[in-house]
Amino acid sequence: MISRKPHVIGKPFPLIEAQRKLTGVTCYAGDEKISPDMLHARILFSERPRARFRLRNLDAARNHPGVVALLTGRDVNGRMGHTVADRELLAVDEVIYAGQPLAVIAAESPEIAAKALALIQVVYEDLPATLSIEQSLSRGAPAVHPDFMSYRGAEKLNSEPERNIAHALTFVRGDVDQGFAEADVVLERTYTAAHLQHAPMETHGGVAQRQPDGSVTMWMHVQAPFLQRAIIAGALGMSPEKIRIITGCVGGSFGGKVFVSVEALLAAIALHTNGRPVRMLLTREEEFKGVFMAPAMRAHIKMGAKQDGRITAIEAIYDWDVGASVDAAVFHLQAVTLAGTGPYAIPNVSVRTNAVYTNLLPAAPLRGLGVAQVHWAIEQHVAELAEILNMTALNLRQWNLVKGGDHLFPNFVMHASGLENCGALAVDAIGWRPETPRPAQAEADDASDRPGVGRGMALGWSPIILSDQCGSSVTIRFDSERLCDVVVDGVDIGQGLYAFITQIISFELNIPVEWITVEPTDTANYAPDWEASYHNLLWSMGHALLRATGEMKKQILSCVAKEWEEPISNLDIVDGEVVSYASRRKLPLLSLLEEGMGAETSPPSFSVTATYRPPNVDGSIDSQLQSFASTAYAAEVQVDPETGALSILQLAAAVDVGHALNPESVRAQIKGGIIQSVSFTLLEEMVFENGVPVSTDFMKYPIATTADMPLQLHPIVVEVPQRSGPYGARDLSHHVQVGAAPAIANAIYRAVGVRIRDLPITAQRIYDALQEKRARESGAG
């Protein structure tokens, strides 16, 4: 490719939306003022994990002054889901989790809505519930979904509903029994990771209004408007073109605003308010207890290795507590299965992942898609195994590392990757040379001059899967009125999407950035069955943009070529002008658009739509697997051996992004990923009491503040081009998370000699482990 404007791709580029965001102009949930007669919706949520229930006093609520509409499951009864319809729009007779919607109300003010809802008495008759993976899988546990097989889409999943297994995937290579027989050392451990919350600063919400034609227009701030259109329409029994979703910027999603939670209820109630618009904005408490959580994990890992460090076999079982709905987690399961061995080429493999139903809040994948939790297990396991083999963990990793050319899955051969390089750079960034084997007593560490200080690292690989929802479509229009107007189907969730779009168009068409306007995403611009990408946008939209700009350029040049009577190959666009390399003629694009080519022709306008479609699904485990993205984390921590208090002194993340199109933006995303990972690793746990969430605010569910930041952050950009990606780039949102938690845990081990195998790593857990270690040592001594 001729590098026409090398300063645009791979060089700093401003965030297009930043100025609007920083002047308070950008609209988020609750900011839209559709009309002064707007109503306010509130939801009544279940307070019990499993119970039969009756709603009393409904008439009092309905007749309360200022109430315009009230719906219960008796009024609107629909099942909701994308792959499998395992959720009810509103519960009927029985609830299967605390936080399940029982009623929705629209009133003149949020206060009236709340007051009227408080008039409703919910009479519960508790039923046996199952509240953990262990309980759900145990014999005689109540089935969360006894009628699972009757749900739309149930046949698509590999389920055992009577055992509460909603979906299971397995991957087998070689013969693990033989692999373990060959091993000199076999290590078995169990690791867990808590339920997390996406906890975007912007709670779920939006505005909906019924239109005269019976359709519903929704102004929402969601990551996947096209997917939501399909799910909402399905739940309400409407055709998709009757739901129109207009989406501006999103105030944080992290996976929590992909699948529909309360949005369908907003559409439902808006159908009953005589065309008056309805606004819904969840309170923080509702955001915690009534939307989604991220799945919890229990991993059982068995690994065998020869004395020389070759890993001969791995048997891994990953159980995921997906709460009362698997629908949002189906894709998550494919990702964690593919990532299940960690980045190691092991001859004998058995990976099984189970999505397990419980009577808890439905789960939706969090940034990282569970791959971060998989590495929590694998990367600690590898470190422990290395110690048993009396070699450095780094050596053990290198010995077994996946390499380009490895035939890993039936249809997938590993490509060149930055794995090894990431590891070396991360370790180097914190000033660590882990050359000598570690003695079991971590006190004799290389950091022994600083008591309680230790260093650890972890590698990571993360599958990039071009799922069904990985298509993207772009329309570029060029005319004198709007200049370059762009319609896309993706959404800005803080990743800098508008900058990305503008950067590519400006580069490819060689026009000034100021000419380009990206319109808010509107489902009305696309066919009712279009399900656009909500992740891997760089990939899908990048390809769509390259096609669209290529075609646009051809249209413009052929229009001018015809008039100039020159072959199109002579022509190019340079800095907003059509030029001929042969005749040296020039025509500014602005004059072309305003005046046309001459008196006898009217000014032209151009319009191009280009679409990228994901490859077809064939049902195999590596179906749509496009590549693996690599990361490495290195951590330096200090632990107070008396209290277990932990400080992270340094944290380095090396991330292979293929090609950093906008390097500062990439570094910003990595830094954000590091801090979020610290938050997930040290602070966050969704706590339930008898199935009812008690983590309902930021005091009970703390997330990282500036006080929790590591003292030193080292974001490292590694660039091993993804040959099939736009400009060699690959998406980075998910894999930024992978490796942080185990690197910190490995560092803690080297600091004070205890292994924490349950996330989050709290001071209490470290303290307890230290006490146990002391008791063990004094008992032994």
CB 396, min distance to other proteins, A: 31
Task: Determine whether 264 is exposed, middle or buried from the number of CB atoms within 10 Å of its CB (0-12, 13-18, 19+).
Answer: buried
Q: By C-beta, is 201 or 645 nearer to other proteins?
A: 201
Please give the Cα distance from 134 to 111 (Å, whole number): 42
Residue 373 half-sphere exposure toward CB, CA atoms < 13 A: 35
Q: How would you list the strands of the sheet with 67-72, edge to edge? A: 67-72, 101-107, 39-45, 278-281, 205-210, 216-220, 243-247, 521-522
Please give the Cα distance from 358 to 695 (Å, whole number): 18
Contact yes or no for 757/380 (Cβ under 8 A): yes
Task: Determine whether 609 is exposed, middle or buried from the number of CB atoms within 10 Å of its CB (0-12, 13-18, 19+).
Answer: middle
CB 681, min distance to other proteins, A: 12
Written as six digits, the tokens of 744 are 């910190």
Written as six digits, the tokens of 283 are 């309170």
Please give the Cα distance from 182 to 178 (Å, whole number): 6
CB 22, min distance to other proteins, A: 5
Q: By C-beta, is 204 or 375 nearer to other proteins?
A: 204
The CA R_g of the chain, rounded to the nearest whole Å, is 28
Please give the Cα distance from 735 to 718 (Å, whole number): 13
Q: By C-beta, is 101 or 200 nearer to other proteins?
A: 200
CB 250, min distance to other proteins, A: 6
Centre a 10 Å sphere on the Cβ of residue 54 and count the other Cβ atoms it contains: 11
Q: At what angle do helices 263-270 and 225-236 cross, to 10 degrees?
A: 50
Q: By C-beta, is 83 or 669 nearer to other proteins?
A: 669
Residue 365 sits at φ, ψ, to 5 deg, of -55, 145
- In the complex, the residues that contact other proteins under the rule CB under 8 A are 14-15, 17-19, 21-24, 26-28, 30-31, 33, 199-203, 249-254, 281, 283-284, 493-496, 664-665, 667-669, 671-676, 679, 697-699, 703-707, 709, 713
Please give the Cα distance from 84 to 79 (Å, whole number): 9
CB 60, min distance to other proteins, A: 23
CB 326, min distance to other proteins, A: 25
CB 30, min distance to other proteins, A: 6
Q: Which residue has the tokens 């590098």?
A: 3
Q: By C-beta, is 672 or 721 nearer to other proteins?
A: 672
Instruction: Specify the DSSP element, H or E, that contains 759.
Output: strand 758-759
For every residue of 443-499, DSSP letters joined together read GGSTTTTSTTEEEEEEEEEEEEE--TT-BEEEEEEEETTTEEEEEES---SSS-HHH
Residue 345 sits at φ, ψ, to 5 deg, of -90, 95
CB 662, min distance to other proteins, A: 10
Q: By C-beta, is 132 or 679 nearer to other proteins?
A: 679
Q: By C-beta, is 20 or 163 nearer to other proteins?
A: 20
Instruction: Specify the DSSP element, H or E, that contains 289.
Output: helix 284-289
CB 198, min distance to other proteins, A: 8
Q: By C-beta, is 475 or 676 nearer to other proteins?
A: 676
For every residue of 141-204, DSSP letters joined together read PPPS-TTGGGSTTGGGS--BGGGTEEEEEEEEES-HHHHHHH-SEEEEEEEEE--B----SSPS
CB 108, min distance to other proteins, A: 13
CB 676, min distance to other proteins, A: 4
Q: By C-beta, is 509 or 675 nearer to other proteins?
A: 675
Closest by Cα among 657, 648, 777, 652 to 715: 652
Q: By C-beta, is 361 or 713 nearer to other proteins?
A: 713
CB 323, min distance to other proteins, A: 21
Q: By C-beta, is 251 or 725 nearer to other proteins?
A: 251
Torsion of CA 724, 729, 734, 736, to 10 degrees: 140
Written as six digits, the tokens of 198 are 């996406």
Specify the amino acid at residue 303. M
Q: By C-beta, is 385 or 488 nearer to other proteins?
A: 488
CB 25, min distance to other proteins, A: 8
Q: By C-beta, is 28 or 344 nearer to other proteins?
A: 28
Contact yes or no for 737/372 (Cβ under 8 A): yes
Per DSSP, 566 falls in state -
* Strand, helix or coil for residue 70: strand
Please give the Cα distance from 662 to 504 (Å, whole number): 11
Closest by Cα among 583, 510, 589 to 556: 589
Q: By C-beta, is 36 or 779 nearer to other proteins?
A: 36
Please give the Cα distance from 321 to 298 (Å, whole number): 8
CB 759, min distance to other proteins, A: 17
Please give the Cα distance from 274 to 276 (Å, whole number): 6
CB 15, min distance to other proteins, A: 7
Q: By C-beta, is 197 or 630 nearer to other proteins?
A: 197
Q: By C-beta, is 453 or 499 nearer to other proteins?
A: 499
CB 196, min distance to other proteins, A: 12
Written as six digits, the tokens of 501 are 């779009």
